[in-house]
A and B are shown apart, each in its own frame.
Chain A
Amino acid sequence: MGSFLVRRFAQGILTVVLASVLVFLVMRLIPGDPALLLVGTDASPADVEAVRERLGLNEPLIEQYADWLIGALQADFGPSISKGTEVGTLMKVAALPSAELAVAGYLFALAFGIPLGIAAGLKPGGLGDYAATGFTMVTLGIPNFVLGILLIWVLAVLLGWLPITGRVAINEDPIEAIKFLIMPMIAVGAGTAAVLARFVRASIMETLNQDYVRTARAKGLRERAVVLRHAMRNALIPVITVAALQIGFLISGAVIVEVVFARPGFGSLIIAGVIGRDYQLIQGMLVVLVTVFVVVNTLADVLYGVADPRIRVS
């Protein structure tokens, strides 16, 4: 188990470092002089040179990267060119609303997708199976941001149940905050829920065909005990990996959904970065997002190893 952990974490760190190098190099391809963008075109050449010096743009690339990496490890991502403030400060403000949405969307996906998959898997061809298939079809044809618009139309405009756009902080008014969160949560989580439902369904159907399930039935256990104690526990182990991989897609989907619902967060920030060609901002945000993604996947692998001893050995 020890060497498994070490190997897995080393791999994760390598991926994050390589990803940061890749983003760093690609961002240098942005045409135009960042210093010129920062001070404006009517500044004197001496001013531009001073800013270039301050941003470290005159140093060799390797040195620039090392400086940036050392700063990033201390949560200092440098100044944002388009916004004029520190990237770290901008991200700190945006992190809470984004995390709130991602967590809510993920919980929705788990709470909706897994039971649906179980219902479908236990009775193929039954009502649950039809519901799962129908739900999958809907999410295939309607991407997250479009689902968001449809939800706004039905739940907010036609029925008037929920507020349309914006966000209220949880600690200010919990009930209002949840009302604002419901539609974005569904929009972000629906796709993941469908993937989980499909995977759980297949996993349960496969497990129910295993010999040990037949043995459990043969020794006269009630169906409830067979399903809950024998089949389900084994069927849900591989779900851990799939569920973890989905987090990355959920986060990237949240970027767009946030814009649909005019919520503050990483979404509006990253778009401002792309439009303003703000290399510092994009660089900082992407490395943070990739780190989150890699950490989650590594944890999932470790958890998988804990849940299934066979993985640790092989």
Chain B
Amino acid sequence: MADVQIPEPLFRRASLGARVLTWRQQSQWFDVSYRVARERRGQIALLILGVFLICALFAPYIAPYGYAEQFRSAKLLSPSWTHPFGTDEISRDLLSRMIYGVRISLFVSAGAVAIGMPIGVAIGYTAGYFGRWADAISMRFIDTMLAFPGILTALVVLAVLGTGTREVAITLGITAIPVFARLARGQMLQEKERDYVMAARTLGAGPTRIIMRHVAINTLPPLMIQAALYMAFAIIAEASLSFLGLGAAPPTPTIGLILNGARAFLTLGAWWFILAPIAALALLLIALNFLADAILEATSPYVRNK
């Protein structure tokens, strides 16, 4: 019997490396994510944010106790195996409260970017692309909003909306609008002079197609960096506002509220009371700043391909 020749498949399955390369060429999102995941700072950021995100999404399953659950004779206990971060003045487990607190921080900051970024970018692109009066009017408005430094704008908006977690998220979304509009306009002014925009226009593409399909993709990296940095700002702002009593109402656990509660018990030696919120806050902020750095490294042509 003659040997049966097993035919070579005409097309071999592409190796993983080759497939990744194709995905990177097809999607800018994938390419930037891939590069970020290869930067040291990006890896640290993704690891920390990943852990916090899992905690936030599955808080009820991960937290050992409920955030308002009180324990008999467990007032202001220092860290132990049953309560790893200790307990607070009314005998609640601080680890559980922190897990729910981080959840609020992440939801508020992500919500703020989700509200403010699309609106701001739309205003900025329109102003930058069309110029003239559209530009003049919207930029006057935006510069005026940016004349209020830091969280002062947020305080004005909160006075109208009233206090609460949702109100804080909406407020920080509104204050994000001028930040993103300013950036998007600058990017648009730069890009619209480029040859590829001219080429698209020559082919008969309208403003919507040019902005959405061509310019948007090319201005993605700076906007992503700004989104990471604004999330960091929103986390600080949310913590500040709830610390001041303008955010969530007790017994909702937020980083700001826990810190405010802890302040009075420092003199009694309850150091663990401030430890968990400060550590969580610092990790979140460092991770978001690292993420911004990593996106810059991954997309800036000067440092790329080294």
> What is the interface of chain A, defined by CB distance below 8 A to chain B?
15-16, 18-19, 22-23, 26-27, 29-31, 137, 140-143, 145-146, 149-150, 152-153, 157, 164, 248-249, 251-253, 255-256, 259-260, 270-271, 273-275, 277-279, 282, 286, 289-290, 293-294
Least distance between A61 CB and chain B CB atoms (Å): 16
Verify A277–B159 contact, CB threshold 8 A. Answer: yes
Residues on the B chain within 8 Å of A289, using CB: 148, 152
B7 at the interface (CB under 8 A from A): no
Residues on the B chain within 8 Å of A22, using CB: 144-145
Least distance between A105 CB and chain B CB atoms (Å): 13
Instruction: For the A-B complex with A146-B259, A279-B159, A289-B152 known, give 16 more contacts whose Cβ atoms are closer than 8 Å.
Output: A18-B140, A19-B147, A30-B159, A143-B240, A146-B278, A157-B266, A164-B267, A248-B149, A252-B150, A252-B151, A273-B159, A274-B155, A277-B162, A282-B159, A286-B148, A289-B148
A270 to B121 CA separation, bound complex (whole angstroms): 31
Verify B151–A255 contact, CB threshold 8 A. Answer: yes
A59 to B267 CA separation, bound complex (whole angstroms): 54
Residue of B nearest to A16 (CB): B147
A294 to B163 CA separation, bound complex (whole angstroms): 29
Contact partner of A256 among B149, B158, B243, CB < 8 A? B243
Least distance between A138 CB and chain B CB atoms (Å): 9
Verify B244–A256 contact, CB threshold 8 A. Answer: yes
Residues on the A chain within 8 Å of B151, using CB: 252, 255-256
Q: Is the interface of B mostly helix, strand, loop or mixed?
A: helix
Verify A293–B143 contact, CB threshold 8 A. Answer: no
A248 to B147 CA separation, bound complex (whole angstroms): 9
Verify B158–A140 contact, CB threshold 8 A. Answer: no
Residue of A nearest to B269 (CB): A157
A30 to B269 CA separation, bound complex (whole angstroms): 43
Least distance between A249 CB and chain B CB atoms (Å): 5
Least distance between B111 CB and chain A CB atoms (Å): 20
Residue of B nearest to A137 (CB): B286
Verify A270–B150 contact, CB threshold 8 A. Answer: no
Residue of B nearest to A30 (CB): B160
B236 at the interface (CB under 8 A from A): yes
Least distance between A168 CB and chain B CB atoms (Å): 20
Per-position 1/0 for B69-112, Cβ under 8 A of A: 00000000000000000000000000000000000000000000
Residue of A nearest to B268 (CB): A157
Verify A15–B155 contact, CB threshold 8 A. Answer: no
A31 to B167 CA separation, bound complex (whole angstroms): 14
Contact partner of B144 among A19, A140, A256, CB < 8 A? A19
Contact partner of A145 among B148, B243, B245, B246, CB < 8 A? B243
Verify B144–A15 contact, CB threshold 8 A. Answer: yes
Least distance between B188 CB and chain A CB atoms (Å): 23
Contact partner of B156 among A16, A259, A282, CB < 8 A? A282
Residue of B nearest to A260 (CB): B263
B294 at the interface (CB under 8 A from A): no
Residues on the A chain within 8 Å of B30, using CB: none
Residue of A nearest to B284 (CB): A141
Verify B286–A140 contact, CB threshold 8 A. Answer: yes
Per-position 1/0 for B222-265, Cβ under 8 A of A: 00000000000000100110011110000000000001001100
B282 at the interface (CB under 8 A from A): yes
Contact partner of A15 among B147, B245, B267, CB < 8 A? B147
Contact residues of B between 277 and 300, Cβ < 8 Å to A: 278, 281-283, 285-286, 289
A274 to B152 CA separation, bound complex (whole angstroms): 11
Verify A290–B155 contact, CB threshold 8 A. Answer: no
Residues on the B chain within 8 Å of A248, using CB: 149-150
Residue of B nearest to A17 (CB): B144
B157 at the interface (CB under 8 A from A): yes
Per-position 1/0 for B28-72, Cβ under 8 A of A: 000000000000000000000000000000000000000000000
Residues on the B chain within 8 Å of A270, using CB: 155
Verify B259–A256 contact, CB threshold 8 A. Answer: no
Verify A271–B244 contact, CB threshold 8 A. Answer: yes
A253 to B243 CA separation, bound complex (whole angstroms): 13
Residues on the A chain within 8 Å of B147, using CB: 15-16, 18-19, 290, 293-294
Least distance between A172 CB and chain B CB atoms (Å): 25
Least distance between A60 CB and chain B CB atoms (Å): 21
